[in-house]
């Protein structure tokens, strides 16, 4: 109360102390992110212009790593494959997730919504490594799925197209990132004013056209968020391609790891990391730009 009265006399001074107190409080987490993320990322960028000779860096700036990265067919293939797989994972995940988010938002009683959301998030919090490994066990040649289907008598020969290829990577990642896609879409759907849907139907639209002309455009901010939040981390996934991808399912992160930990070529690894990050950012920006008209409007 006192502070408010004082504030009337000197609003600027109050604003100034507010500013200082806020900045003082935020400086700890901000400083941490700068020291542990911004500085290391800058270091990665710097090193990508260096070369390495066993343990020592040659710090003469050069573009050779980048030249090699864009001309070597192996690196190119890995990068394009990562983008392709991440894109496919995103498509599958978001398409599968949308009906769930819609169901929870529109057809679940408000008191039970948080229970549904909790049920969906639980598997996500359990060990990622174990989950990916379980998919390997499920999809394997003598795995759970094949042996199960054979025991029941649906198939005679084990299915071979489901492990050690890009399909397996897509299935596994779509499973792992499900809640990431559901939550933002759910939040966007919850914000939709239900009277708009009634108005649309009162004005003669069918249920289906109401969905496509009212509900979906209003849910687009959530869909865009879901796409970004699935696409960006999946492109750098290491565990899934390594465990279930086989030689044709390996992605750029596997090569980055090999460069850093096996080949002792940190500059090349750094270059690939920079290229991957730049590609992801460009694709993400392009995607946001394409959906600009859905993202404006009243909040």
Report the site for other proteins in 147-186 (rule: CB under 8 A): 147-148, 151, 175, 178, 183, 186
**Contacting residue, 68, 103, 199, 286, with other proteins by CB under 8 A:** 103
Q: How far is the CB of 229 from other proteins (least distance, A)?
A: 6
Say how far residue 18 (Cα) sits from the centre of its chain: 35
**Contacting residue, 9, 29, 208, 299, with other proteins by CB under 8 A:** 29
Which residue number, 257 or 291, has a Cβ lying nearer to other proteins? Answer: 257
Residue that has been written with the tokens 């998030």 in this structure: 121
**Contacting residue, 11, 61, 63, 123, with other proteins by CB under 8 A:** 123
Q: How far is the CB of 188 from other proteins (least distance, A)?
A: 12
Check binding of 258 to other proteins (CB under 8 A): no
Contact track, other proteins, 188-227, x by CB under 8 A: --x-------------------------------------
Which residue number, 48 or 200, has a Cβ lying nearer to other proteins? Answer: 48
Part in contact with other proteins (CB under 8 A); list of ranges 64-72, 73-81, 268-276, 291-299: 268-276
Check binding of 299 to other proteins (CB under 8 A): no
Q: How far is the CB of 19 from other proteins (least distance, A)?
A: 5
**Contacting residue, 15, 263, 285, 290, with other proteins by CB under 8 A:** 15
Which residue number, 162 or 280, has a Cβ lying nearer to other proteins? Answer: 280
Check binding of 135 to other proteins (CB under 8 A): yes
Contact track, other proteins, 35-54, x by CB under 8 A: -xx-xxx-xx--x-------
Residues whose CB falls within 8 Å of the CB of residue 90, separated by 6 or more in sequence, listed in order: 227, 230, 231, 234
Q: Which parts of 52-91 interact with other proteins (CB under 8 A)?
A: none
Ordered DSSP codes for the chain: -HHHHHHHH-HHHHHHHHHHHHHHHHHHHHHHHIIIIIHHHHHHHHHTTSEEETTEEE-S--SHHHHHHHH-HHHHHHHHHHHHHHHHHHHHHHHHHHHHHHHHHHHS-HHHHHHHHHHHHHHHHS-HHHHHHHHHHHHSTTSHHHHHHHHHTS-SS---TTSSSHHHHHHHHHHHTHHHHHHHHHHHHHHS-HHHHHHHHHTT--HHHHIIIIIHHHHHHHHHHHHHHHHHHHHT--HHHHHH--GGG--HHHHHHIIIIIS--HHHHHHHHHHHHHHHHHHHHHHHHHTHHHH-S--
Q: How far is the CB of 65 from other proteins (least distance, A)?
A: 14
C-alpha triplet 86, 87, 89: angle, nearest 5°: 65
Check binding of 278 to other proteins (CB under 8 A): no
Check binding of 131 to other proteins (CB under 8 A): yes
């Amino acid at each position: 109360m006192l502070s408010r009265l004082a504030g009337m006399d000197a609003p600027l001074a109050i604003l100034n102390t507010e500013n200082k107190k806020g900045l003082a409080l935020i400086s700890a987490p901000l400083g941490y992110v700068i020291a542990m993320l911004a500085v290391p990322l800058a270091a990665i960028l710097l090193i990508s212009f260096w070369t390495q000779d066993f343990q020592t860096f040659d710090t003469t700036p050069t573009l050779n790593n980048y030249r090699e990265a864009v001309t070597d067919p192996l690196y190119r293939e890995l990068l394009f494959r990562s983008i392709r797989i991440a894109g496919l994972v995103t498509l599958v995940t978001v398409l599968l997730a949308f009906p769930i988010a819609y169901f929870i938002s529109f057809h679940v009683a408000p008191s039970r919504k948080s229970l549904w959301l909790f049920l969906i998030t639980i598997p996500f919090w359990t060990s990622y490594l174990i989950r990916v490994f379980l998919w390997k066990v499920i999809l394997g040649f003598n795995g759970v799925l094949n042996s199960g289907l054979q025991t029941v008598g649906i198939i005679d020969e084990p299915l071979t197209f489901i492990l050690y290829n890009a399909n397996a990577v897509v299935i596994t990642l779509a499973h792992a990132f499900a809640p990431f896609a559901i939550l933002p879409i759910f939040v966007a759907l919850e914000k939709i004013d239900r009277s708009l849907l009634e108005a649309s139907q009162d004005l003669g639209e069918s249920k289906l056209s109401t969905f496509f002309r009212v509900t979906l455009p209003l849910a687009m901010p959530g869909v865009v968020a879901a796409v970004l939040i699935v696409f960006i981390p999946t492109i750098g996934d290491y565990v899934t391609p390594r465990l279930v991808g086989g030689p044709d399912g390996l992605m750029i992160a596997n090569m980055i790891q090999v460069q850093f930990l096996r080949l002792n070529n940190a500059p090349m690894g750094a270059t690939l990391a920079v290229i991957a990050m730049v590609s992801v950012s460009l694709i993400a920006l392009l995607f946001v730009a394409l959906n600009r008209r859905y993202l404006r409007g009243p909040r």
